[in-house]
Amino acid sequence: MSDNKVIDKKADEKKKKSFFRLMISNLFGRKEELSIFEEEEVQSPFRTVINTFKENKFAMGGLIVFLLIFATVLIGPLIKPIDLSFHETSQQNVEPGFDMMKIPDALNGKIQDIAIGPTFSIGASTDGNLYTWGKTKISPTIDIKNTPEDMGNIVKLAAGFDHIIALNDEGKVFGWGSNRQKQSKVPAEISQVRNIKEIYAGYQCSLILTEDGHTHFFGNSMNNDFNIFHPYQGQLDKVAFTSDAVIGLTFDGEVVYLGTLKNSYSKFPEGMGKVKDIASTASTVAALGEDGKVYVWGNISQKSKENKIPEFSGKVVSINGGRYHYTALTEDGKVIAWGGNTYKQSEVPKGLKDIEKVYTGYYQNYAIGKDGKATTWGLKGYLLGTDELGRDIFTRLLNGGRMSMTIGAVAVIISTIIGVVVGSVSGYFGGRIDNILQRLSEIVASLPFLPFAMILSALIGNSMTSRQKTILIMVILGFLSWTSLQRLVRAQVLSVREQEYVIAAKSLGIKKSHIVFKHILPNVISVIIVSATLSFATSMLTEASLSYLGFGVQAPQPTWGNMLYGANNSVVIQNYWWRWVFASALLGTCVICINLIGDGLRDAIDPKSQER
Amino acid sequence: MTKYILKRIMYMIFVFAAMSIILFFLYNLIPGDPARAEVEHLKETLNPEQYEKAYQDARERMGLNDKTIVRYKRWAVGVLNRDLGRSQVHKKDVTELVKTPLKNTIKINLISVFLGLAITIPLGIYCAVRRNSNFDKVVQVLTIVGYSIPAFIFGLLFIYVFAVKLKWFPVSGMGTPNLKGSSWVLFKDQLWHLGLPLMVMTLASLGGLTRYVRAAMSDALSMDYIKTARAKGLKEKTVIMSHAWRNALLPIVTLLVGWFASIFYGSLVIERMFNLNGLGKLLIDSLNSRDYNVVMAIQLLYIMVALFSNLITDISYGIVDPRVRVDR
C-alpha cells in the first residue's frame, strides 16, 4: 500500500515536471527541442532575408556606418543648433584645430604681455622672447608667425584684426602682418618719438600713445572714425578701439570721443564721475567709474547684451573688452565677465581667484594669477574649421546632414508613393489606363534629369524663400524619379496578377482596389524596399549636385551639397581644404553606405541576383 | 516595322509639342518684362509720356500684348523655321550661339565615352569570368564607391591633387588664352586643358558601366550553350569571346544608345566645374542671367535627343535580338 503511494507520488512529480517543462517551453520557445531539420523548416522568408543580409559583411558594415551617421545628424542638431543668420567676419576660413588658447609652456609663468587677435595670439616673456600661437596664417601669404628680426626686448604688444604692433624696451615700435591699409608700417615720424607709453591696434589701424598724452594714428582712417586733429592732444591717458571708432580717456578722468561724427559712442552716460579705466568691444564702450561701477554704451546688440552687467561684490579695478564681451577684475582678485557668449567666452571658470591681470580680446581670455600662470577660457578653435562667413563647419555639417537626409527621404517617399500607385494600377487594370500611364511614365523618364530639375528649380523657385525652395526641391526630385520603380512594380504586379490567390480573391467578390493594395502589394514589397533604398542614395546625390550648381537648397540653410557651392575655385581648393574635404567625405561615405545596404538587401531578398 | 517607327515618330512629335507648350507657359510665368528692358535706357532722355509710348510700342512690336497661346503659336512657327529667337545677353541669334558649345560638349563626351568603354568592357568581362575571385570582389566594392560619389567630388579631389599639388594640369579653361602657333600646338594645348575633365568624367562613369557589363556577361556565361561550348572542347578564349560576349552584347548595346544620348547633356557639372565652354555651362549661365530664349532652345534640344534615343533604343532591341518583337 505504502509502496504504491510512493510510486504514485513519483509519477505525480514526473507529471508535474513535464508540465512545468511544457509551460516553460511554451513561454520561451522550444528551441532546444527542435532538431536542425525542424528549425530549417520553420524559418520564415523574412528570417532568411535577415540572416543572408547579416552574413554580407559589406552590407552590414554599410548599415552600421550609415546608422552612426544617421544618429549623429539626428541628435547632433539638438546639441549644436544652428543660427542661420550667424556670420562673423573675424572668424573667416579658420583652419581646424583647438590651439587658439594653447599658451606655450615656455611662456607660461613669465608673461610680460599678451596680445589677442581674432584667431591668433602673441605673447612676450619677461626674458624677451616672443611666442605666437593659434591660427597665425591669416592669408595664403601672410603669417603672423613671421616676426621681424632684431626687435630687441619686446615689452608691449598689440594685436589688431590682422596685424601686430610691438614696442621694445628702447621705445621702438615694430609692426607686421597685413599691411593693406598701411596699418603695420610704422611711419617715420614715430621712430623719433621716444616716450611711448602704450600701443594700440584696432581694425586695420594702429595708434601710439605717448607719456605726455599725444596720439599718432596710422592705418585705415576711412573705416575708423578718427579725427587726426582732435582737440585732446596732450591730454590722453588711455584709448579704446571699437571696430569703427576711437574713444579716449583724459588724464582728468573724462571720456572723450576722438572722431568727427555724432553717434551712439559719443552719447556718454551721465553721472560717471571721474573715470578710471575704459574698454571696448566691437560695437560698445565701457567705462569704469571712480566708485567701481561699470557703465556700458554704444550700439548694444540684442544678442550679446553687453550692458547686462551681472551682480558682483567688491570694487572693479580694471576692465577689458573682447569682440562682444567684457571682463572685469575686482580688487579681491576675482574675474567677472558678461556679454556675448557664443563661444562661452563670458563663462569664467569656477574657482578662479587671486588674479592679477586679465587679457581679453576677441573671443579669448587669459587670466594671470599670482604665480604668473595663465588660466584661459573662451574660443579654443574649431573641430573642422570655419567657412567663408566664419560659420563653424562642424555645426553646418550636422545640420546640413539632417537637411540632406530629410530631402532625400521626402523625395523617396513622394516618388515611392507615385511609383507604387501608378505601377500597381497600371499593372492590375491594364488596357487603356495602362497605356496612358506608361506613355506618361515614358515622357517623364525621357527627360534629362539634372538639367530639367535645374530648370524647374530656377523657374518655379524664382521668387521663393529659402524654406519654400527646399520643399520645392523635394517635390521636384520626387516627381521626376518615380518611373523606374513604377516599371518594377508594374512588372511584379503583372506576374502576380494571374496567381491563384488573386483569382481566389476575385472570385470572392473583393473590390479591385482592395485586391491591388491588400493582396498584391504586400507580395511585391521587397522590390519596393530595395528600390526605395537605392533611390534614397540617388536623391541625396541629385540634391547635392543641384545645390552644388546653385540650383538646389539656398544658403544660409546648409546641406552637404550647397556647402560645396563656394568651393569651386582653386583658391579655396588649395588654401581652405577643410571647406570641401569634410562635406564631400561625409556625403560620399553616406551614399556609399546606402548603396551597400541597398545592394545587400537586393541580394538577400532575391537570392538569384547573387548568382550573377 | 516601318509602321511601328512611323507610329513612334508621330507619338514623339506629340510629346515634343506638349513639352514645348508646358515649357513655354512655364517661362511666361516668370516675372520680367523684355519690353521694359529694351526701353529702359530711354528713360533718361524722354519725358514720361514719350517713354510710356516707346514702352507700349516696344510691347506691341514684341507682341507682348497678345494672348500667351497666340505668342506660343508665333514662337512655335519660328522654331519650325529654325529661328529660336535672340539671346538677350549675348545679342546673338540662339542658333548661332549654341553651335560652338554644342560642338565642344559633343567632343568632350565622345572622348570620355570611348575612354570609358575601353576600360569598362575588358574589366567587366574579366570580372564576370573570374566571378567571386578576390579581384572581382575588390572591383565590385570599387564600383559601388565609383557610382556613389558624385562627379564634382571627384573633380574637387582631382583638381587638388593634379592641378594644385602636382601642377600637371591647369585648374580650368579650354585653352591658353591668346596662344598662337601651329594647329598641332593648339591641339596639344587643348588636350592638356581637357586632360583633367576627361579623367573625372571617365572615372565617374566607370562604376555603373562596369557593373552593367559584368552582370550582362555573367548572365551570358551561366547559359546552357556555354556549357555545350565547353563540353565541345572549345578553347576558353573562344567560349568567352565569341559565345558569351556576343550574347552579352545585346543588353549592353541598348544601354550604349542611352549613353550616347547623354553625350548631349552629360557633362553639365564637369563643364561648370572646369569652366569649359560647353552646352551645359551655357545652360547654367543662361539660367543665371535669365536668358530664357537660350535656355528654351537647349531644353528643347535635350528633349529631342532624349526622345530620339528612346526610339533608337527600342528599335535596337529588335535589331540586336530577333526574339524581341517591338512592333507587336
In tens, the pLDDT along A549-605 reads 888 888 788 999 888 887 877 788 888 889 999 999 999 999 999 999 998 888 888
Cβ contact, residue pair B156, A573, below 8 Å: yes
CB contact under 8 A, A544 and B150: yes
Cis check for the bond before A556: say yes or no (omega within 30 of 0): yes
- Return the H-helix or E-strand segment holding B111: helix B94-129
Evaluate if residue B74 carries a pLDDT over 50: yes
Share of chain B above pLDDT 90, in %: 4
- A-B contacts at Cβ under 8 angstroms: 122
Q: Check B26 against A460: CB less than 8 A apart.
A: yes
- The shortest C-alpha distance from B223 to chain A (Å) reads 12
Question: Which residues, 6 or more positions from A5, have their beta carbon under 8 angstroms from its beta carbon?
Answer: none
Average pLDDT, chain A: 85
The end-to-end CA distance of chain B, in Å, is 9
Taking the CA atoms of residue A289, residue A295, residue A296 and residue A298 in that order, the dihedral angle to the nearest 10 degrees is: -80
- The pLDDT assigned to A37 comes to 65
Q: Which of the four pLDDT bands, split at 50, 70 and 90, describes residue A370?
A: confident
Residue B26 to residue A459, Cβ atoms within 8 A: yes
- Residues A466-479: what's their mean pLDDT? 89
Chain A residues interacting with chain B (CB cutoff of 8 angstroms): 58, 439, 442-443, 446-448, 450-452, 454-456, 458-460, 462-463, 537, 541, 544-545, 548-551, 564, 567-568, 570, 573-574, 577, 580, 584, 587-588, 591-592, 594-596, 599, 611-612
On chain A, the residues whose CB falls within 8 A of the CB of B284 are 454, 549-550
pLDDT of residue A402: 92
What's residue A608's pLDDT? 58
Percent pLDDT > 90 in chain A is 23
Under the banding of pLDDT at 50, 70 and 90, the label for residue A67 is very high
Q: Is the pTM of this model over 0.80?
A: yes
Q: Are B318 and B12 in contact (CB under 8 A)?
A: no
So what's the pLDDT on residue A18?
61
Residue A23 has a pLDDT of 58
Distance (Å, rounded) from C-alpha A88 to C-alpha A543? Answer: 28
pLDDT value at B174 more than 70: yes
Amino acid at A369: G
How close A82 comes to chain B (CA, Å)?
A: 25
Q: Binning pLDDT at 50, 70 and 90, where does residue A610 land?
A: very low
- DSSP β-ladder status, A154-159 and A130-134: unpaired
Q: Averaged over B204-231, what is the pLDDT?
A: 88
Is a pLDDT exceeding 50 seen at residue A611?
A: no
Distance CA B221, CA B227 (A): 9
Q: How many CA atoms lie within 13 A of B150 on its CB side?
A: 32
For range A305-317, the mean pLDDT:
84
Task: Give yes or no for residue A232 having a pLDDT over 80.
Answer: yes
Q: What is the pLDDT of residue B31?
A: 67
Name, in order, each residue with C-beta under 8 angstroms of B311's C-beta and a sequence gap of 6 or more. Answer: B5, B8, B9, B12
- pLDDT band of A1, cuts 50, 70, 90: very low
Contacts of B236 (CB under 8 A, 6+ apart): B230
Q: State how far the alpha carbon of A139 is from the alpha carbons of A135, A162, A576, B93, B246, in Å.
A: 10, 9, 10, 45, 60
| DSSP designation for A392 | B
To the nearest 10 degrees (0 to 180), the angle between helices B292-320 and B2-29 is 160
pLDDT confidence of A413, banded at 50, 70, 90?
very high
Work out the mean pLDDT of chain B and round it to a whole number: 83
Polymer length of chain B? 328
Q: Are strands A284-288 and A294-298 parallel, antiparallel or unpaired?
A: antiparallel
Of B248, B118, B230, B227, which Cα lies nearest the Cα of A612? B248
Buried b (16+ CB within 10 A) or exposed e, A501-518: ebeebeeeeeeeeebbbe
Q: How far apart are the CA of B155 and the nearest CA of chain A, in angstroms?
A: 9
Q: Look at A453 and A40; give whichever has higher pLDDT.
A: A453
Per this entry, what is the length of chain A?
Answer: 612
Contact A176/A147 with Cβ under 8 angstroms? yes
Torsion over CA of B2, B3, B5 and B6, rounded to 10 degrees?
110
Which residue type sits at A187? P
3-state helix, strand, coil in chain A (%, to 5): 45, 20, 35
The Cα–Cα gap between B151 and B262 comes to: 15
Q: What is the DSSP string of B138-194?
A: HHHHHHHHHHHS-HHHHHHHHIIIIIIIS--S-SS-SS-TT--S-HHHHHHHHHHHH
At residue B165, the pLDDT reads 86
* Contact call for A588 and B153, based on CB within 8 A: yes
Of the listed ranges B64-68, B247-251, B274-278, the least confidently predicted one is B64-68
Q: Are A72 and A64 in contact (CB under 8 A)?
A: no
Domains of chain B: 32-83 (no CATH), 94-320 (1.10.3720.10)
pLDDT of B296 reads: 85
| d(C-alpha A476, C-alpha A447), whole Å | 13
Q: Which of A230-244, A272-286, A526-540, B240-254 has the lowest mean pLDDT?
A: B240-254
C-alpha cell at A389: 562667413
The backbone torsions φ and ψ at residue A374, rounded to the nearest 5 degrees and listed phi first, read -100, 135
CB contact B148 to A (< 8 Å): yes
3-state secondary structure of B221: helix
Is it the case that residue A87 has pLDDT exceeding 60? Answer: yes
**Residues B151 and B158 sit within 8 Å (Cβ to Cβ):** no
pLDDT at A137 exceeding the cut of 80: yes
Closest chain B residue to the Cα of A461, Cα to Cα: B30
Q: Is the pLDDT of residue B298 over 50?
A: yes
Is the CB of B144 less than 8 angstroms away from the CB of A564?
no
- Record the cell numbers describing residue B287, joined without a space: 539660367
Residues of B in contact with A58 (CB under 8 A): 141, 144
> Over the range A253-283, which residues count as b (16 or more CB within 10 Å of their CB) and which as e?
bbbbbbbeeeeebbebeeebeebbbbbbbbb
Distance from CA of B183 to the nearest CA of A (A): 29
Distance CA A535, CA A531 (A): 6
A514-524 pLDDT, tens digit each: 888 888 887 77
**What pairs with residue B104 in β-bridges?**
none
Output B51 or A285, whichever has higher pLDDT.
A285
Tell me, yes or no, if B115 comes closer than 8 A to chain A by beta carbon.
no
Question: What phi and psi values does residue A581 have, to the nearest 5 degrees?
Answer: -65, -50
Chain A: residue whose CA lies nearest to B142: A592
C-alpha cell at B275: 569652366
In sign, the C-alpha dihedral spanning B64, B68, B72, B74 is negative
- Name every chain A residue with its beta carbon within 8 A of the beta carbon of B310: 442, 446
Q: Does B26 touch chain A if contact means CB atoms closer than 8 Å?
A: yes
pLDDT at A527: 82
